Amino acid sequence: MIEDVEGETPRLEGDARPTQFFYVYEQGGAIVGWALGAERGNDAGYVAVDRVIVHPDHRRCGVARALVERVLADHADIEVLMAAWDPELVPFYESLGFRELEDGTMSKSPPH
């Protein structure tokens, strides 16, 4: 189950940018994954996904896919950007419709 956590959302250490969404994936009463990010700037025109984290015991079980799909569903009318910290994750993001930009950022534009 994915839950949108309302109220105070976490900040990454040293990050002054506000977090506007924080989703957790729960299984058996435990949080096994989470995603956070925010729309950037005034009328920036994109959403930045700062982190998608999955507990090692729950990787390759659809948790990250479900979290990213939720982000895409909730922000379907705006470009979604995320960094593929691990080059091995590029095919995963491409399978969700992202394309890799020259700087390594993954981008998914809204349908036209």
Q: Is the pLDDT of residue 19 over 90?
A: no
Q: For residues 51 and 35, is the Cβ–Cβ distance under 8 A?
A: yes
CATH number (3.40.50.11540, 3.40.630.30, 3.20.20.70, 1.20.120.530) of 2-108 reads: 3.40.630.30
- In this prediction the pTM is 0.81
Query: Mean pLDDT lowest for which of 51-55, 61-65, 68-72, 100-104?
Result: 100-104
Please give the mean pLDDT across all residues of the chain: 83
Reported as a single tens digit per residue, the pLDDT across 97-108 is 999 998 889 999
